[in-house]
């Protein structure tokens, strides 16, 4: 609901605004679902929105100008004064009750939910007069201005308070000694300016179960009462602030609870604390140092997710993973960990996401594993792993990144059997041999995967597994869009042989990087079948022949690098090739000509190998003529020569002819 026009006196304006808040709360959830599924939308008045408008009407005790007298029929979109609906969806878009002299009260209003709309401006202080309000959810909007004592002073029954804005445009200006009249169960404040110091009034909220103060400009050390309060919390999020100092020796939440704690993206330092009663923990992007103790996870048997990435941890990964049957998500990337990956970790039955990149790990990772039962994504990039590329199997493996290690040998054919694999990065290793032809049968790169909305939301909002990949010539971080990417990177190895023709079957591939290898032969003529290709890098190889004309038919192609090969002939000029005007993407191919190179083609319509083909054709014709002549000569003399030499055969031949 993006347009609200209200021109009432101050008291009447606030009364109507709060009425509208209740209306938006009723409308929002189904509106979101309808936009997700256009087939469910309808044109005309939507019944539950008509009922919500009638509830607003009932809140007014006096309508002296009869503004609401038309609100009686079934079609609220065309017959009701002040109501405007979308012609596309039928949802109410505008409600204009300005200058209507309406009056009424909302003293009994208990719940307001306006989460995730486009509301802006200041929040009226009269909101604090709603004594009956229990639930106030106005986050996910674009509020501005200040929150002062008066906004919250008389909300004596409030138990749920959540609000946010954008770019910290909403500032909390609460008096130092203010003591709220409510006792909250849930307090969520994010993307607002609450700091730099912790608000003292939060310490009085002895019933708190959920505390979220994310990106609220808090700084300095965390007061002791926060850690004491954490023992009664199910959910604690202080991420994306400037908090510093040591963490307590033990991080704990309420017993027998779900136990979510996020202290990531701060400046905490010191040793890694022990954990207790926590199911999900994020300490990412801090300055924690030292080693992981062997009993780090000893008192968190229900641990589901742990993220310690982006710190300064050293030493080995603990070998004790007993009882961690529920653990699905592990991220230890971006530290200074060394040694080998414990086999006990690799064998966790529920492990689905394993991120160990950017460390100093070595050995042959997960060598005893032949099949992962649950693993979906694994990133072992930028380490010192050795041996052959693992021949892992797994029914759910979707993303594999082994970039920047010391793997050697050939590409295993077992990779072709990973039917759900859609991201494969084994670049910058020491691999050799040819690309297996069976790569053309990898289903994940050939067919569009059906990703349910619930699965995407689970991966994006809950787990946020990320990968750093070189796409379109740049190192990019893929996170929210990783499940949608289809990508193969085998660059920076010693691969040889031809590009298999079968690889053109990968019609759903978005990015292919085979650069910096020793690949020879021609670019597959049918490469145009890879219709979803956006990035193609074949540079620094030994490819020869023409640039296939079918490559110009890939209209999605936006990044191309064919430099440092032995390609020849004219550069295509159709479709996307008109935008590839950087000469460097074709450089070091002596036989190439045409725009954007300075070398012009003497006969652009002539095949570069036509002379060779013509000469070959002439030679073949000459050989045919010579064979016929020689055959005639030998055949002639075989018969006539015999008759001339042998008289008895000659007499018999003439008698046969009657001569």
Query: What is the chain's percent helix, strand, coil content, to nearest 5?
Result: 25, 25, 50
**Which residue from 117, 122, 112, 216 is spatially nearest to 158, judged by alpha carbons?**
112
Three-class SS string for 332-401?
Answer: CCCCEEEECCCHHHHCCCCCCEEECCCCEEEECCCCCCCEECCCCEEECCCCEECCECCCCEECCCCEEE
Could you please report the per-residue DSSP string of 117-163? S--EEEPPGGGGG-TT--EEEEEEEEEEEEE-HHHHTT-TT--EEEE
Q: What stretches of 212-317 show up as alpha helix (H) in DSSP?
A: 224-229
Instruction: Tell me the whole-structure pTM to 2 decimals.
Output: 0.79
Domain 409-449+463-599 in the same topology as domain 44-104: yes
Residues facing 408 on adjacent strands: 388, 430
The order of strands in the sheet holding 83-85 is: 3-5, 92-96, 83-85
Each residue of 30-39: pLDDT tens digit?
A: 444 343 343 3
- Coil/strand/helix, residue 552: helix
**In Å, what is the CA distance from 98 to each residue of 14, 58, 67?**
13, 17, 10
**For residue 581, which phi and psi values (nearest 5 degrees)?**
-100, 15
CATH architecture observed for domain 44-104 = Alpha-Beta Horseshoe (3.80)
Domains of the chain, residue spans: 44-104, 409-449+463-599
Q: Which helix (H) or strand (E) holds 30?
A: helix 10-36
Spatial separation of the C-alpha atoms in residues 433 and 431, rounded to whole Å = 7
Spatial separation of the C-alpha atoms in residues 305 and 555, rounded to whole Å = 41
Long-range contacts of 360-363, Cβ-Cβ distance < 8 Å, separation of 24 or more: 360/336, 360/384, 361/317, 361/337, 361/385, 362/338, 362/386, 363/339, 363/387
Q: What is the pLDDT of residue 647?
A: 59
The CATH classification number of 409-449+463-599 equals: 3.80.10.10
Spatial separation of the C-alpha atoms in residues 259 and 302, rounded to whole Å = 9
Rg of the chain on CA atoms, in Å: 37
Residue whose structure tokens are 């036989």? 591
Q: What is the pLDDT of residue 571?
A: 94
For 198-222, letters b (16+ CB in 10 Å) and e give bbebbeebeebbbbbbbbbbbeeeb
CB neighbour list of residue 415: distance below 8 Å, 6 or more residues apart: 389, 421, 424, 436, 439, 442
Q: Residue 653 has which token pair?
A: 């031949």
Q: What is the pLDDT of residue 137?
A: 87
CB neighbour list of residue 192: distance below 8 Å, 6 or more residues apart: 147, 163, 164, 165, 168, 170, 171, 172, 216
Q: Which helix (H) or strand (E) holds 17?
A: helix 10-36
Residue whose structure tokens are 């190439």? 592
For 435-468, letters b (16+ CB in 10 Å) and e give bbeebbebbbbeeeeeeeeeeeeebeeebebbbb
Residue numbers in the chain where pLDDT is lower than 50: 1-19, 21-43, 452-462, 606-619, 657
Q: Residue 137 has which token pair?
A: 């959810």
């Amino acid at each position: 609901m993006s347009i609200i026009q209200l021109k009432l006196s101050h008291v009447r304006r606030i009364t109507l605004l709060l009425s509208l808040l209740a209306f938006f709360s009723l409308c929002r959830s189904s509106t979101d679902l309808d936009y997700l599924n256009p087939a469910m939308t309808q044109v005309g008045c939507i019944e539950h929105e008509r009922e919500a408008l009638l509830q607003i009407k009932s809140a007014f005790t006096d309508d002296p100008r009869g503004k609401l007298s038309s609100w009686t029929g079934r079609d609220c979109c065309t017959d009701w004064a002040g109501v405007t609906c979308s012609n596309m969806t039928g949802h109410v878009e505008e409600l204009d009750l300005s200058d209507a002299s309406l009056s009424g009260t909302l003293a009994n209003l208990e719940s307001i939910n306006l989460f995730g709309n486009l509301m802006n401006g200041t929040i009226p202080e009269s909101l604090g007069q709603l004594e009956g309000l229990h639930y106030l959810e106005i986050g996910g909007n674009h509020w501005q201005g200040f929150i002062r004592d008066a906004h919250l002073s008389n909300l004596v029954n409030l138990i749920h308070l959540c609000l946010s804005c954008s770019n910290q445009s909403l500032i909390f200006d609460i008096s130092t000694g203010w003591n709220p009249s409510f006792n909250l169960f849930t307090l969520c404040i994010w993307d607002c300016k609450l700091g730099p110091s912790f608000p003292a009034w939060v310490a009085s909220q002895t019933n708190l179960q959920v505390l979220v103060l994310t990106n609220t400009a808090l700084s300095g050390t965390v007061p002791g009462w926060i850690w004491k309060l954490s023992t009664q919390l199910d959910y604690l999020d202080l991420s994306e602030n400037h908090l510093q100092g040591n963490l307590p020796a033990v991080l704990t939440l309420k017993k027998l609870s779900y136990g979510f704690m996020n202290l990531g993206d701060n400046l905490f330092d010191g040793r890694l604390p022990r954990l207790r009663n926590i199911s999900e923990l994020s300490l990412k992007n801090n300055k924690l140092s030292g080693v992981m103790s062997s009993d780090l996870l000893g008192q968190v048997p229900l641990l589901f997710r742990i993220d310690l990435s982006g710190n300064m941890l050293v030493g080995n990964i603990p070998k004790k993973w007993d009882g961690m049957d529920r653990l699905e998500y592990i991220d230890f990337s971006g530290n200074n960990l060394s040694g080998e990956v414990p086999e006990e970790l690799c064998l966790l039955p529920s492990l689905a996401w394993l991120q160990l990149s950017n460390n100093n790990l070595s050995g042959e990772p997960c060598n005893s594993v032949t099949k992962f039962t649950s693993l979906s994504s694994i990133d072992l990039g930028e380490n010192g792993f050795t041996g052959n590329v693992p021949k892992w199997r797994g029914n759910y493996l979707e993303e594999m990144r082994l970039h920047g290690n010391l793997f050697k040998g050939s590409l295993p054919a077992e990779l072709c059997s990973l039917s759900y694999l859609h991201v494969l990065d084994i670049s910058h290793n020491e691999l050799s041999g040819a690309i297996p032809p069976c790569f053309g049968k990898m289903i994940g790169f050939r067919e569009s995967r059906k990703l349910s909305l619930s699965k995407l939301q689970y991966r994006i909002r809950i787990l946020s597994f990320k990968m750093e990949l070189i796409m379109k010539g740049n190192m990019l971080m893929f996170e929210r869009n990783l499940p949608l990417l289809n990508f193969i990177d085998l660059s920076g190895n010693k691969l040889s042989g031809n590009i298999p023709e079968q690889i053109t079957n990968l019609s759903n591939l978005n990015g292919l990087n085979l650069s910096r290898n020793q690949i020879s032969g021609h670019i597959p003529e049918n490469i145009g079948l890879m219709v979803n290709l956006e990035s193609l890098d074949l540079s620094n190889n030994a490819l020869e022949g023409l640039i296939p004309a079918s490559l110009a038919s890939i209209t999605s192609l936006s990044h191309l690098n064919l430099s440092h090969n032995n390609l020849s002939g004219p550069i295509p000029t159709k479709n996307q090739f008109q935008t590839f005007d950087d000469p460097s993407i074709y450089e070091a191919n002596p036989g190439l000509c045409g725009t954007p190179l300075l070398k012009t083609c003497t006969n652009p319509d002539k095949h570069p190998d036509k002379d060779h083909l013509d000469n070959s054709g002439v030679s073949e014709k000459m050989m045919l003529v010579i064979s016929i002549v020689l055959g005639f000569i030998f055949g002639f003399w075989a018969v006539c020569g015999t008759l001339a030499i042998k008289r008895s055969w000659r007499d018999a031949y003439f008698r046969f002819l009657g001569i």
